[in-house]
Structure 1
Amino acid sequence: MKELQHYDKAAHNFYRKQSVLSLPIYGWDIFSKYFQKVCDNLSDLVVLKNISEEKAWENRFPFEKEIIQKKHVIVVTDAELNIVHATKNIFDMNGYMPDEILGKKPKIFQGAETCKETASEISKAVKNKQAFEAVILNYRKDGSTYNCWIKGAPIRNKKGEVVNFIAFEREVA
């Protein structure tokens, strides 16, 4: 029984320092969907941290705040705009699983009714390696449309070279 006391104390000390709180065990049936989102968010945080370390990003981003608090979708592309990571919550916004869009360009979300002017402004900012913010009409996997707020920026490594682009996104009315 003493082993459990030490375990409980260690677990308590560990979890109280985390920004993601544990769930009550009696509520698994109610909270299982929420628990899966928490697991997905934590998994995405690990992947994003690994990408940033592997590519030696000059700046760090508050991924935890963006995903957990603001519930933003995060899309990371390589320097040629091929998607290298999308957070799992992208499915809730547009119906695509992250694996379905890996290697594709973000234009996959655009369609006939997407504003050409806004798309051109975003494209110009990307070509000039500048940050941008815009709302654009995107398409879900099922063909329906949604307005997507995007805040994007180039990511430089410690040598000053653009190695990735990042976009924080959410559906807006």
Structure 2
Amino acid sequence: MSDFPQYDEAIAKYHKCLNIKTTPVFSWDFHHEFLHELKSSFLDLDKLKLIALQNKWNLDNWDLKTRLKEEVIIVTDVKRTIVFASHNIVKMSGYKAAEVLGKSPKMFQGQETNLVTLNEIRNAIQLQEPFEKTVFNYKKNGTVYACLIKGFPVFNLQGQLSHYIAFEKAA
């Protein structure tokens, strides 16, 4: 085993002759974004579960985990004040979730929002019925976007109206 120094020299010579080009690792940004998105989804799911627990909802009918990945979720109380907005609302509307809490969904409406459609939504809410409508909403910067809204009344375990939940995505 006296050949180790010669072996080490041969390996060092070989590696010096290699023409290796290194590039910076760009995937870290993607990984960070993925982890941030995943963490935010779990936080949103925990918040929704807490609201459901406090108000005695039955969550068996909702696949919230999947919906949080694909849609914006907004929960309003019976007075139609926003009490929850998922983190991904910023991608669709430009508003952060904290900016819409305590406000009415009317904040997204403007001149191009169809009044007939709004009346249909209002009627469905008053009748405590689910609805599915596409409306023109306004982003924080003023741009108009089509928004598909699937809204549902949420009842507590005693059958009393507790909240409204809307699953939204750009149409």
Correspondence list, 1:76-95, <5 A: 76-95=75-94
In the alignment, structure 2 segments of 5+ residues that lack a partner are 1-25
Corresponding position of 2:56: 56
TM-score norm. by structure 1 comes to 0.81
Q: Deviations over 1:66-115 (max 9, x none)?
A: 112xx100000011110000000000000001111111111111001100
Corresponding position of 1:5: none
CA–CA distance in 1 between the matches of 2:153 and 2:101? Answer: 18
CA–CA distance in 1 between the matches of 2:30 and 2:120? Answer: 44
Amino acid in the other structure paired with 1:171: A
CA–CA distance in 1 between the matches of 2:27 and 2:142? Answer: 36
Amino acid in the other structure paired with 1:52: A
CA–CA distance in 2 between the matches of 1:30 and 1:40? Answer: 15
Q: Displacement of 1:29 after TM fit?
A: 3.1
Q: Displacement of 1:59 after TM fit?
A: 4.3
Contact 1:58–1:160 (CA under 8 A) maintained in structure 2: no
SS of the equivalent of 1:150 reads strand
CA–CA distance in 2 between the matches of 1:37 and 1:65? Answer: 13
TM-score norm. by structure 2 comes to 0.81
SS of the equivalent of 1:96 reads coil
Corresponding position of 1:124: 123
| Structure 2 residue 66 is matched with structure 1 residue 65 | yes
Q: Displacement of 1:58 after TM fit?
A: 3.4
Aligned-pair RMSD on alpha carbons? 1.3
SS of the equivalent of 1:138 reads strand
Q: Displacement of 1:127 after TM fit?
A: 1.1
Corresponding position of 1:36: 36
In the alignment, structure 1 segments of 5+ residues that lack a partner are 1-25
Shift in alpha-carbon separation, 1:37–1:59, aligned structure 2, 3 A:
closer
CA–CA distance in 1 between the matches of 2:30 and 2:102? Answer: 36
Corresponding position of 2:163: 164
